[in-house]
Amino acid sequence: MTTAAARRRGEVEILRSPLRNLGIGMIAGPGTPVPARTIDVRLLELAAGERTSTHRHTHDSVLVVLEGEGCSTIGGRRVRWSTGDALHTPAWSWHFHEIEAGRSHALLLGFSNAPLLRALRLNWVQDAGMVERREEHAAMPAGRRDDPSAYGRELLAANAGPVGAGRAPVHTASGDLELRPGPGGARTALLVDSALGYETSGLALEMIELPPDHVLPRRRDVGESCIHVVSGNGHSVIDGTRHDWSAGDTLLVGHLAWHEHGNDDQRSPAVVLRAHQGGSILDIMGCLMDPAPAHGTGG
Ligand SMILES: [Fe+2]
């Protein structure tokens, strides 16, 4: 099992998808140089005046806008976004993204738990093409209140509302982010997390700001996490291997891999994004019962 890997943005090749109608560059995930097994990371590139196909998938996808502005229709809700914002496309919600004509292109960073869903044989993707609107669960029966059986109740509950069209947020504006003191001297802000009301299957995204010339305490965590460097220069030591990083780089921190992250700049903070699956099926599987300490000097 690979527990540590890193990749520079310049090494990522963006290939055009005529079906999805955008450019996709795989950064991390199975089959890439950063072989995370439960999370993947990709670059999505849209040109001005362009929109993606309308599609849905059983995995969660969390997007961060690296450059540009545009809008997305997610589960029937339309949200505008710009650089620094985060989006969530909930599992099985129809969605598409678009850039108005006359704007500059947009570059988004996407994290998903598709590899985890694939491992469970539960990763399904449907693409409706370039249609404007697609009814959620169009082909599914709504359930009947005159069926009092367990199955009747189950069917009603499962179809209580379109996925992604409820009250759960699907967008965090960068202007609403508030960095707060976090562990080890860092400042952190949640972008997509159940604590903010998001309904994901466990995928979460946070921003971490490392103070200048500062190394966060050595630790290890249950489950994989993928780190993407937004700004700054620093290094990480993961399972005993040092990786020097700068803006645009992506790192994998494996399950229970001892690691530390440090900002090597004497004057400026470094900002990274961290995606993880901490509150997901890993809970259900009892992995969090592992007695291994999160802090210490082991490894
Ligand atoms: Fe999607």
Q: Does residue 297 lie in a domain region?
A: no
Asked if the model's pLDDT at residue 207 lies above 80, the reply is yes
pLDDT score for 255 = 87
Calculate how far, in angstroms, residue 188's C-alpha sits from the geometric centre of ligand 1. Answer: 27
Closest CA to 220 of 186, 254, 252: 254
Query: Ligand 1 centre from 239 Cα, in Å?
Result: 33
Coil vs helix vs strand at 275: strand
Residues with CB under 5 A from ligand 1 (ion): 61, 89
243 CA to middle of ligand 1, Å?
A: 31
Give residue 206 CA to ligand 1 midpoint distance, Å.
Answer: 20
Q: Which helix (H) or strand (E) holds 235?
A: strand 233-238
Are 9 and 40 members of one domain? yes
Q: Which two tokens stand for residue 62?
A: 């969390």
Compute the distance from residue 260 Cα to the ligand 1 centre, in Å: 32
Four-point Cα dihedral 15, 19, 20, 22, nearest 10: 40
Determine the distance separating the centroid of ligand 1 and the alpha carbon of 279, expressed in angstroms. Answer: 21
Report the number of distinct structural domains present in the chain.
2
Q: Give the tens place of pLDDT for each residue, 38-50.
A: 999 999 999 999 9
pLDDT tens digit sequence for 153-186:
887 777 665 555 567 999 999 999 999 999 899 9
Quickly state the pLDDT bin for 139 (edges 50, 70, 90).
Answer: very low
Torsion angle, alpha carbons of 32, 46, 196, 93, to 10: -90
Domain-located, residue 163 = no
User: Is pLDDT of 136 > 90?
Assistant: no
Are residues 125 and 85 part of one domain? yes
Per-residue pLDDT reduced to its tens digit, 252-293: 999 889 999 999 999 999 999 999 987 666 666 665 555 555
| Burial of residue 114 (number of CB atoms within 10 Å: 0-12, 13-18, 19+) | buried
**Is residue 165 one of the residues assigned to a domain?**
no
Chain centroid to CA 29: 12
Q: Output the pTM of the full model.
A: 0.89
CA of 21 to the centre of ligand 1 (A): 12
Tell me if 296 is assigned to some domain: no
Q: Are residues 270 and 135 in the same domain?
A: no
**Per-residue pLDDT band at 3 (split at 50, 70, 90):** low
Backbone angles phi, psi at 135, to 5 degrees: -70, 135
The pLDDT value recorded for residue 8 is: 74
Task: Say yes or no: 31 and 144 in one domain.
Answer: yes
- Ligand 1 centroid from CA 192, angstroms: 16
Q: d(Cα 116, Cα 195) in Å, to the nearest integer?
A: 22
| Same domain, residue pair 116 and 228 | no
Structure-token pair, residue 159: 């179809």
Residue 223 in this model has a pLDDT that exceeds 80? yes
Give the model's confidence band at 299: pLDDT under 50 very low, under 70 low, under 90 confident, else very high: very low
Q: How far is ligand 1, taken at its centre, from the CA of residue 278, in Å?
A: 21
The answer on 141 and 223 residing in a single domain is no
Within-domain flag for 295: no
* Domain coverage including residue 253: 171-289
Q: Tell me what pLDDT residue 76 has.
A: 87
Please check whether residue 146 lies inside any domain of the structure.
yes
Same domain, 191 and 64: no
Q: Has residue 1 got a pLDDT over 60?
A: no
Q: Are residues 88 and 189 in the same domain?
A: no
Q: Ligand 1 centroid vs 253 CA: distance in angstroms?
A: 25
Q: How far is the CA of 59 from the centre of ligand 1 (A)?
A: 9
pLDDT at 70: 97
Does any domain span residue 100? yes
Is the pLDDT at 219 greater than 90, yes or no?
A: yes
Distance 29 CA to ligand 1 centre (A): 16
Q: Are 18 and 139 part of one and the same domain?
A: yes
What per-residue confidence (pLDDT) applies to 290? 59
The pLDDT mean for the chain works out to 88
Q: What 3-state class would DSSP assign to 287?
A: helix
- Compute the distance between CA of residue 20 and CA of residue 136 in angstroms, rounded to an integer: 19
Q: Which two tokens stand for residue 154?
A: 């189950």
CATH number at residue 57: 2.60.120.10
